[in-house]
Amino acid sequence: MNTFGSLFRVTTFGESHGPAMGAVIDGCPAGVSLTRSLVQAALDRRRPGQSNVTTARNEADQVELLSGIYEDKTLGTPIAAIVRNQDQRSQDYEALKKEDRPGHADRVWRERFQHRDPRGGGRTSGRETLCRVIGGAVADALLLREVPSLRVVAWVSQVGPFFAPLPSETLTRAHVDAHVTRCPDAAIAPQIEARILEAKAAGDSLGGAITVRIDGAPLGLGEPVFGKLKARLADAFGGVGAVTGVVWGPPDLEARLTLPGTQFHARRDDGTPSDVYGGIQGGLANGEPVLARVLFKPPATLTDHAKAGRHDPCILPRAVPVIEAMTSMVLADLWLSFLARPHRS
């Protein structure tokens, strides 16, 4: 199961300490504007070593586009891209050939496959997500051409006990990237940074949540019954290693679940649907912003292992572009399906 998507398909390959990692994107139509710099910019947002709150592994993550593009436009043929690994310290994982790390996938993979690459977690490493970011960059390029009003932006909305309020609808990825924590709230971001650094020094780790918002999704986007927009997104988010749950709708949804139906489903003063649906009804986009909160568990590398190695004490800041990429790949896939099936314009 290394391929994601139906019409817009992304196959990822490579291990954390192998020669290279990459992706093959198939199903992207011809004529989409796509430059190396666009894909590189997406990878730069995810790469390790970009701040003091992330892993110290120093990878430039320079992408090489091998096929599917000519004169900065897609050809409609498979797009292959690789990123060569350069800063491995494989000797750090020598003991893991015989020792399973608590909280990691080591034991279940060893028992299932009987043979695995223990270096850096191999295929189960969070480094594999760079391949998804490549796919997300291509999806973004396709969506920009096909649905220019559509926007996907994600941000860190919780780390440990710190919660950020819902930002304005004018939030952009540039606003999110302005702080190393990728929390756009000026009051909460410094507190989150301090807490991450404290956990890092103690060999501890922190979980939390990333919120993603989709604006401008075409009305009716999604495929009933088993291709519902929320089901496809949940599948995409659940495929990210540290994700432990998804909640749809506004930040106070849990509190609103205590309300009777007459209040829970009440339309807003301007007559538009309640925001409790998270922009999705009957599995289809309802024209409102789609809002989802993706929950992350704390990283499992702790104490002396964390202090001696190069690990993220909190993966949330670097996971933001990964969540955006998974969202964009779902939207690109569903858009191609939307074009192929009957619908009203």
What's the rounded Cα separation, in Å, for the pair 8 and 26? 6
pLDDT of res. 305: 64
Domain of 314: which CATH number?
3.60.150.10
Residue type, 306: A
Q: How many separate domains does the chain show?
A: 1
pLDDT tens profile 310-343: 678 999 999 999 999 999 999 999 999 999 876 5
Q: With beta carbons less than 8 A apart as the criterion, state whether 208 and 200 touch.
A: no
**65 forms bridges with which residues in the sheet?**
81
- The more confidently predicted of residues 120 and 249 is 249
Given a cut of 60, whether residue 306 has pLDDT beyond it is no
- Are the beta carbons of 160 and 208 closer than 8 angstroms? yes
Q: Which residue has the tokens 């051409």?
A: 145
| pLDDT per position as a tens digit, 1-59 | 999 999 999 999 998 888 999 999 999 999 999 999 999 999 999 988 778 887 766 78
What's the pLDDT band for 269 if we cut at 50, 70, 90?
confident
Per-residue pLDDT, averaged over 78-83, amounts to 98
Identify whether 175 is part of a domain. yes
**Pair type for strands 208-215 and 151-159:** antiparallel
In the predicted structure, residue 186 carries a pLDDT above the cut 60? yes
Asked if residue 345 belongs to a domain, the reply is no
In a domain, 271, yes or no: yes
The rounded percent of the chain whose pLDDT value lies above 90 is: 71
The predicted structure's pLDDT at residue 92? 58
3-class DSSP assignment, residue 330: helix
Give the length of the chain. Answer: 345
User: Mean of the per-residue pLDDT values for the chain?
Assistant: 90
CA distances from 167 to 172, 228, 323 (A): 10, 27, 18
pLDDT digits (tens, 9 = 90+) for 100-126: 777 777 778 778 887 777 776 767 788
Tell whether the model's pLDDT for residue 99 goes beyond 70. Answer: yes
Does residue 93 register a pLDDT over 60? no
Share of the chain above pLDDT 70, in %: 92
Q: Judge whether 314 lies within some domain.
A: yes
Domain extent at residue 176: 3-340
- Residues 211-218 have a mean pLDDT of 97
Quick check: is 270 in a domain?
Answer: yes
